Amino acid sequence: MIELLQFRHSPYNEKVRWALDCKRVPHRRRSLLPGPHMATLKKLTGRTTTPVIVADDGAAIDGSARILEWIEARWPQPALYPAAAADRVEAQRIQQWFDDDLTPRIRRAVLDALLRRPTAFAAVFGDGRPAVERLAYACAVPLAAPLVRKGNGITGAASVADGLRAAQAAFDFVAERAGPDGYLVGGAFGLADITAASTLAVIVCPPDSPMAAVPPVGPAFQALVDRFAAHPAADWTRRLYARHRGANRDFDGPSEGADR
């Protein structure tokens, strides 16, 4: 059975979770904590980024875009990639724009806000772990914060402001691009929608979903959520999650229908 190594609160990981759940792919999930995760992933891929899929044959695949291509090839239904060539190219263009530009910049604003309250950072990334383990992780967060900031390009107020501009651009793009049917490409739910919604969900925190906020989030992160709460793209994200996500929580261990 394939295994997903992930962070709980990450758009790249959520994108892969969503695809696996949408296609009802039997799998196991193992959630890692930022920081301690590096040794585990280095052994598998030589890098330290999540998500990582460990295939049935033991091969490790990292990078959400590569993983989604692999999933689509093995489990083609329901299709997440548009059938029309032009639509497929456009969906992949949107995915690349979010993956390589908007999402990393938005992440700086999100992580900066969470790092301002270590218990909030630990609650978000340690969701599902025992309380004592989350508390121990919260105590370690201030020590690891400089590395987290450096690794994510959080160099000061200017980088956080740039993250807010990227968030505004992402929200505005979705609000302007979503058609009357509510989808970004080709009039059907697919790759572009999962990519954009997973990124916006980090700020929107759709209720009753794997990306719902883990209280207490702290005033800095709450201010970020409130900043975009009334944006039309926040409504779009909540509607898309309600209509298509099909999961109200994250988990560790086997998925439904998987061998236990």
- Is the pLDDT confidence value at 65 over 60? yes
Secondary structure of residue 42 in the 3-state scheme: helix
The H-or-E segment that residue 87 falls in is helix 85-97
Q: How many CA atoms lie within 13 A of 99 on its CB side?
A: 24
* 188 and 75, same domain (yes or no): no
- Would you place residue 48 in the very low, low, confident or very high pLDDT band (cuts 50, 70, 90)? confident
- Is the pLDDT confidence value at 95 over 90? yes
Q: How many CA atoms lie within 13 A of 179 on its CB side?
A: 10
Look up residue 131 and give its two tokens: 């309380």
Triad 199, 210, 252: Cα angle to 5°: 120
Instruction: Characterize the bridge pairing of strands 60-62 and 253-254.
Output: unpaired
CATH code for position 226:
1.20.1050.10
**Considering Cα of 57, then 58, then 64, then 65, what sign does the dihedral take?**
negative
* 125 and 6, same domain (yes or no): no
* 199 and 128, same domain (yes or no): yes
In this structure, is residue 173 part of a structural domain?
yes
* 148 and 24, same domain (yes or no): no
In this structure, is residue 70 part of a structural domain?
yes
Sheet containing 253-254: give its strands across: 60-62, 52-54, 2-6, 27-31, 253-254
Beta bridge partners of 9: none
Share of the chain above pLDDT 70, in %: 98
In this structure, is residue 231 part of a structural domain?
yes
- Is the pLDDT confidence value at 93 over 80? yes
- Would you place residue 112 in the very low, low, confident or very high pLDDT band (cuts 50, 70, 90)? very high
Give the domain extent around 222: 85-244
* 114 and 231, same domain (yes or no): yes
Look up residue 113 and give its two tokens: 């806000």
> How far is Cα 231 from Cα 47, in angstroms, rounded to an integer?
36
* 67 and 151, same domain (yes or no): no
Of 23-27, 44-48, 155-159, 176-180, the poorest mean pLDDT is in 44-48
Rounded mean pLDDT, 93-115 = 97
For 202-228, give one letter per residue: b (16+ CB within 10 A) or e: bbbbbeebbbbbbeebbebbbebbebb
CA dihedral 249, 252, 253, 256 (to 10 degrees): 10
In this structure, is residue 171 part of a structural domain?
yes
In this structure, is residue 113 part of a structural domain?
yes
> How far is Cα 91 from Cα 126, in angstroms, rounded to an integer?
32
* 104 and 167, same domain (yes or no): yes
Rounded mean pLDDT, 107-117 = 95
CATH code for position 8:
3.40.30.10
Total count of domains within the chain: 2
In this structure, is residue 166 part of a structural domain?
yes
- Would you place residue 238 in the very low, low, confident or very high pLDDT band (cuts 50, 70, 90)? very high
In this structure, is residue 260 part of a structural domain?
no
In this structure, is residue 161 part of a structural domain?
yes
* 134 and 205, same domain (yes or no): yes
- Is the pLDDT confidence value at 225 over 70? yes
The tens digit of pLDDT for each residue in 118-133 reads 998 898 888 888 889 8
* 22 and 110, same domain (yes or no): no
> How far is Cα 237 from Cα 205, in angstroms, rounded to an integer?
9
Q: Which position has the higher pLDDT, 219 or 214?
A: 219
Mean pLDDT of the chain: 94
* 64 and 117, same domain (yes or no): no
- Would you place residue 35 in the very low, low, confident or very high pLDDT band (cuts 50, 70, 90)? confident
Nearest to 190 by CA among 259, 63, 89: 89
Instruction: Name residue, tokens 């740039």.
Output: 162
- Would you place residue 84 in the very low, low, confident or very high pLDDT band (cuts 50, 70, 90)? very high
Instruction: Characterize the bridge pairing of strands 2-6 and 27-31.
Output: parallel
- Would you place residue 38 in the very low, low, confident or very high pLDDT band (cuts 50, 70, 90)? confident
* 63 and 94, same domain (yes or no): no
pLDDT of residue 259: 60
- C-alpha dist (Å) from residue 165 to 87, 95, 158, 204: 27, 18, 11, 16
Of 11-25, 71-85, 210-224, the poorest mean pLDDT is in 210-224
The tens digit of pLDDT for each residue in 164-210 reads 999 999 999 999 999 889 999 999 999 999 999 999 999 999 999 99
Look up residue 138 and give its two tokens: 């919260």
The tens digit of pLDDT for each residue in 67-82 reads 999 999 999 999 999 9
* 185 and 94, same domain (yes or no): yes
pLDDT of residue 129: 86
